[in-house]
Structure 1
């Protein structure tokens, strides 16, 4: 009887502990509980002289375990491999212009970038102040329309429309250009970078990457005409 109460008490404690774990940690916590329960059972059987019952159970289950365990382990390894592959490819897209190099993170949907040429060459966009953004935008508009449109896209995603109130040459709130085209022709490397793909990507991978990107940057969803045009151009180039 005391042993039964102890088991019930430990089960309640284990249940409370499991419920207190974050959802993402509950599976590992269950594994730990199962291992702890198994070890406790072995110790209990050994202490009461009933360890032979465990050996008999293992002998009975051995044929089944030989068939089930390898497939389970291989499935977990394969799943982990696929998860790593998915996480390591297609998570970022790169779009470059004459003045800017921009990265779009697919998971967080945030943009980051650095300046390639001009008075601020070598600096990261994240380090610029408000007046410096306007100065850089003015420089881009004078030197390269694609760079200006790319910077406007970055400013829209980071600041919304608020930055346009300080823009002396674009206060109408519209992107420069009509967004129908996105500048010069792409190379294969640029097209792959835009869609976040590796060389040798299949047609299905290209289509899926294009669909995933357009869901994030389509103008109808508050995205950018410039990026949408560039993404479409990358798809057309890789599928041609």
Structure 2
């Protein structure tokens, strides 16, 4: 009977795990696998500890706690590299749209700032409508809206107008000059953040928005610029 219950539980978790993987974003998969790996390693460490094999259990438990972000007894500067500030949000604003990027989930949300859809959430508009807007906005806004579309529907370029999709980029510089206030918003930091905070926020963001990770060249350029602007103030 216990073996049957275990088998049913395994099938149950496999089924719902696969359903979740089908709909999850890459960063959610990464975080989910990290958490699952940490829990599994902690359980295995417990089994070794019960058997008296402490030499194996101790390092395994430490590795598990590192994956889960639990590192008791270590200085705060050490644990910060594993733990992000919950709810941290980056903001990027152009003439046409303002976008928010969650550091926790990597999800983007935005609102239109001008035109007939002023004040409308991007999530409230369907993809074809958003694609049509690309033709009538400035280059910087177009690049930011394209970055949102890439995360919402990676196939929009295939289904949209080829001219609009091709013109959705922006110069490698990532837009115009950036003030320190804008830089803090881009990195999701409070004014006066330390150099370590700036570097850490930049590193965490680049893991989510770097073009090699399916992110946006424009957003990566803005995040790099924000880091440079703020670190110059600490030089």
Q: Quote the residue 2:144 is aligned against.
A: 150
| Partner secondary structure for residue 170 of structure 1 | helix
What is the RMSD of the two structures over their aligned residues, measured on CA atoms?
A: 2.8
Q: Match for 2:184 among 192, 216, 239?
A: 192
Give every structure 1 segment of 4 or more consecutive aligned residues whose post-TM-superposition deviation is greater than 6 Å.
none
Q: Match for 1:176 among 169, 181, 186?
A: 169
Following superposition, the deviation at residue 161 of structure 1 comes to 2.7
Task: Judge conservation of contact 1:165–1:171 (CA < 8 Å) in 2.
Answer: no
Matching of residue 120 in structure 1 with residue 114 in structure 2: no
Task: Judge conservation of contact 2:134–2:142 (CA < 8 Å) in 1.
Answer: yes
Query: How far apart, CA to CA, are the structure 2 residues paired with 1:151 and 1:237?
Result: 24
- Select the structure that is richer in helix: 1
Query: How far apart, CA to CA, are the structure 1 residues paired with 2:178 and 2:158?
Result: 30
Q: Quote the residue 1:203 is aligned against.
A: 195
Query: How far apart, CA to CA, are the structure 2 residues paired with 1:129 and 1:158?
Result: 10
Structure 2: gaps (5+ residues) = 1-34, 36-71
Structure 1: gaps (5+ residues) = 1-22, 24-74
Query: How far apart, CA to CA, are the structure 1 residues paired with 2:207 and 2:127?
Result: 29
Q: Quote the residue 2:10 is aligned against.
A: none
Query: How far apart, CA to CA, are the structure 2 residues paired with 1:203 and 1:166?
Result: 42
Q: Quote the residue 1:104 is aligned against.
A: 101
Query: How far apart, CA to CA, are the structure 2 residues paired with 1:175 and 1:135?
Result: 11
Following superposition, the deviation at residue 176 of structure 1 comes to 2.0
Counting matched residue pairs gives 159
What are the Cα deviations for residues 136-155 of structure 1, in whole angstroms up to 9, with x where unaligned?
21222xxx110000000000
Following superposition, the deviation at residue 120 of structure 1 comes to 1.1
Between structure 1 and structure 2, the one with the greater Rg is 1
Task: Judge conservation of contact 2:106–2:208 (CA < 8 Å) in 1.
Answer: yes
| Partner secondary structure for residue 191 of structure 1 | helix
Q: Quote the residue 1:136 is aligned against.
A: 133
| Partner secondary structure for residue 163 of structure 2 | coil
Q: Match for 1:166 among 142, 160, 165?
A: 160
Query: How far apart, CA to CA, are the structure 2 residues paired with 1:167 and 1:223?
Result: 21
Give 1:1-240 correspondences, 5 Å limit: 87-88=85-86, 91-140=88-137, 144-172=138-166, 175-177=168-170, 179-240=171-232
